[in-house]
Amino acid sequence: MAALIAENFRFLSLFFKSKDVMIFNGLVALGTVGSEELFSVVAFHCPCSPARNYIYGLAAIGVPALALFLIGVIWNNHTWNLVAECHKRGVKNFSAAATFLLFGSIMGRAAVAPVTWSVISLLRGEAYICALSEFVKPSSLDKFPPEYGADVLARFPCRDVPANLTKFRDEVTRRLRYESQLFGWLLIGIVAVLVFLTKCLKHCCSPLSYRQEAYWAQYRSNEDKLFRRTAEVHSRILAAKNVKHFFGFVALDKEEKELVQEFPVEGVQPSPQWNAITGVYIYRENKGFPLYSRLHKWAKGVEGNGPTPEGHELLFLAS
């Protein structure tokens, strides 16, 4: 079980740090598939007992899916941008469409892992068979002995049945596996259609051209990488300065000495500046010129996040 959790966290970490959303989704899907396979081999054991089978089967599908969904929500940067936005500014500046798209983005990305888990569980069929074997009507089985009931049907997933019921066990297993896999393929089809419609709707409603959207994505990626790299260097230099002030000297390696000499840090950014560049970003234009991020807007000295007469609204949905 520990290996299962570690594998999920490793893949999800790669997913949520990836700069490409498709690779991001692929990694989390592959990680979930591997985890589900491991869970089926190591941790899944149907109790083969009336009433318990149904609860255990549903829990085997639903509880890991719920846990993966919550992890996806927690590890999504948009979640905490939204929390910061609500805490600092509220959502009064968001239109209903922007708010809907924001929650849709968070929920959609968080749903990749749980949907994958559910699909693989349904295609494998073990949990579904375990949950529903006791509910198969004996009357639907040709020449099923009348003296046997739900207690025996509940033992079918464990193959712990009398010899004269072997063919009935195989028929029930085959029937339930068919239903489980059918639901799995239907779920794949529904998700594929929803993804297709969402992509079409996004591009149809976007005020930006395809090339400008691509440029915007490149800008966000480059800004984020440069910001993280610069913040790491700035914090290291500031820490070195404070340590030297306390001890009178600071033990730096060659690379750190070069950084301190090349980039002198005189002070720190005040909280209002951090608040100004933190939160959900709504795409705006100022006098016809695009503002691609909160940092870009702050650098241009533009105040507020409310709609402007000449502005276009497009929710910042990419990481």
| Residue 313 confidence (pLDDT) | 46
Of 197, 142, 147, nearest to 170 (Cα)? 142
75 in a domain, yes or no? yes
**Do 143 and 59 fall into the same domain?**
yes
**Do 214 and 198 fall into the same domain?**
no
161 in a domain, yes or no? yes
219 in a domain, yes or no? yes
3-state secondary structure of 289: strand
**Do 283 and 200 fall into the same domain?**
no
**Do 152 and 215 fall into the same domain?**
no
13 in a domain, yes or no? no
Query: What's the rounded Cα separation, in Å, for the pair 134 and 46?
Result: 12
| Residue 192 confidence (pLDDT) | 93
* 269-282 confidence digits (pLDDT tens): 898 899 888 877 87
| Residue 94 confidence (pLDDT) | 63
| Residue 22 confidence (pLDDT) | 56
**Do 194 and 127 fall into the same domain?**
yes
| Residue 310 confidence (pLDDT) | 42
**Do 161 and 41 fall into the same domain?**
yes
**Do 174 and 155 fall into the same domain?**
yes
Q: Which residues pair with 316 in a beta bridge?
A: none
**Do 125 and 250 fall into the same domain?**
no
| Residue 38 confidence (pLDDT) | 61
143 in a domain, yes or no? yes
Query: What's the rounded Cα separation, in Å, for the pair 306 and 121?
Result: 45
12 in a domain, yes or no? no
| Residue 109 confidence (pLDDT) | 87
Amino acid, res. 33? V
| 2-17 helix and 112-124 helix, angle to the nearest 10 degrees | 140
Of 1, 70, 4, nearest to 31 (Cα)? 4
Q: How many domains does the chain have?
A: 2
Per-residue pLDDT of the chain (319 residues), as tens digits, is 444 444 444 444 444 444 455 555 566 666 666 665 665 555 678 888 888 999 999 999 999 899 999 999 998 888 887 787 777 766 666 666 667 777 888 888 899 889 989 998 999 999 999 999 988 888 888 887 877 877 888 888 887 777 788 888 888 889 999 999 999 999 999 999 998 998 888 778 777 888 888 898 899 999 999 999 999 999 999 999 999 999 999 999 999 899 888 988 888 889 889 988 887 787 778 888 899 998 999 998 886 554 443 444 444 443 3
3-state secondary structure of 264: coil
43 in a domain, yes or no? yes
Q: How many CA atoms lie within 13 A of 96 on its CB side?
A: 0
**Do 245 and 289 fall into the same domain?**
yes
Q: Which of 159, 181, 204 is the last residue of a domain?
A: 204
Q: Which of 204, 226, 244 is the last residue of a domain?
A: 204
Query: What's the rounded Cα separation, in Å, for the pair 109 and 69?
Result: 9
**Do 91 and 200 fall into the same domain?**
yes
**Do 43 and 94 fall into the same domain?**
yes
**Do 143 and 51 fall into the same domain?**
yes
| Residue 198 confidence (pLDDT) | 85
Distance from chain centroid for Cα 223: 23
Of 280, 283, 285, 290, nearest to 319 (Cα)? 280
Q: Which of 158, 187, 204 is the last residue of a domain?
A: 204
* E strand or H helix at 99: helix 96-110
7 in a domain, yes or no? no
Domain that residue 263 falls in = 209-298
* 194-245 confidence digits (pLDDT tens): 989 988 887 787 778 888 888 988 999 999 999 999 999 999 999 999 999 9
